[in-house]
Amino acid sequence: MDLRDRHVIVTGAARGIGAALSKAFHAAGARVVMADRDGLARAHDPLAGAVEVVADVSTEAGNMHLIDTARRAFGPVDLFFANAGVGYGGDPMTADEVWDDAFAVNFHAHRWAARLLLPEWLERGEGYFCSTASAAGLLAQIGSAPYSVTKHAAVAFAEWLSITYGARGIKVSCLCPQGVNTDMLNPRDEPDGPQAGALGRGDGGDVVRAAGAVLEPDEVAAVVLEAIEAERFLILPHPEVADYVRHKANDPDRWLSGMRKLQQRILGL
């Protein structure tokens, strides 16, 4: 896709990967709508002509508000980037409200956006859906069951969209990075706040940093821009993830054993 004069929506755009994506798309000539549920004004330098929307994509109504606002501003949507995400740690005993929010933001938001966009895209015979999942969606995140499970769901949904609608003009890409220097890896809230136990706090962040290089958001955005221009499905800013996925597929038992050893080494078990 040539992004010049294309209408692009980015969720989770206040900072981190979302802000970097918005900047990259804007520089490529796109008409950008930036959305975040916490607002954007304090988080970045304004992009000339971009539209900023406060929208909670953890609800279907929030997605509807975002897409309706974007259509009023710039007309039909060409590319929707479902980037908003939460990085809760936890296990099966973790409170249901944590699991529910993880599913709502990391997965259901993608489903709701697709529900609202697909009829128009199928009628036009074109449209582009992008999502930010994670290397954890292809592999696993030690210490973070809600994150691992919901990011697997995000990858599976992106694959399903491509299989089901790819022959009808719908393009799909799925971003699966490892460590990126964002608030998810370096939480700013207090230890007893809603992100307690998140990827960047304590054990989860140690595992992410031990897995490989921590990239800057702008580096990730540059890889994404090239992948969208090439209309490539799987976007891996950390190329070694492809090797990890092959190892997992070729010998799952050995891969699981290796992950247990990594957990023991990082967590001191």
Say if 57 falls within a structural domain: yes
Structure tokens at 187: 């939480």
Say if 152 falls within a structural domain: yes
For residue 120, give every residue at least 6 positions away whose Cβ sits within 8 Å of its Cβ, in sequence order, or none.
76, 77, 127
Say if 206 falls within a structural domain: yes
Asked whether 208 and 151 are in contact (CB, 8 A), the reply is: no
The owner of tokens 């090439």 is 230
**Residue 197's domain is classified under what CATH number?**
3.40.50.720
Say if 264 falls within a structural domain: no
Say if 145 falls within a structural domain: yes
Say if 207 falls within a structural domain: yes
* Cα within 13 Å of Cα(94), Cβ side: 21
Range of the domain at 120: 7-240
Say whether pTM exceeds 0.85: yes
Say if 60 falls within a structural domain: yes
Say if 93 falls within a structural domain: yes
Residue pLDDT, tens place only, 118-135: 999 999 999 999 999 999
Asked whether 177 and 134 are in contact (CB, 8 A), the reply is: yes
Terminal Cα-to-Cα distance of the chain (whole angstroms): 48
d(CA 23, CA 18): 9
Residue pLDDT, tens place only, 242-264: 999 999 999 999 999 999 998 88
Residue pLDDT, tens place only, 42-57: 555 678 899 999 999 9
**Residue 137, burial from CB neighbour count under 10 angstroms (0-12, 13-18, 19+):** buried
Q: What is the pLDDT of residue 183?
A: 77
Tell me which of 128, 147, 165, 244 is the catalytic residue.
147
pLDDT band at residue 237 under the 50/70/90 scheme? very high
Residue pLDDT, tens place only, 177-209: 999 988 776 665 443 344 434 454 444 555 665
Query: How many structural domains comprise the chain?
Result: 1
pLDDT over threshold 70, residue 228: yes
The answer to whether 128 is a known catalytic residue is: no
Residue pLDDT, tens place only, 81-99: 999 999 999 999 999 999 9
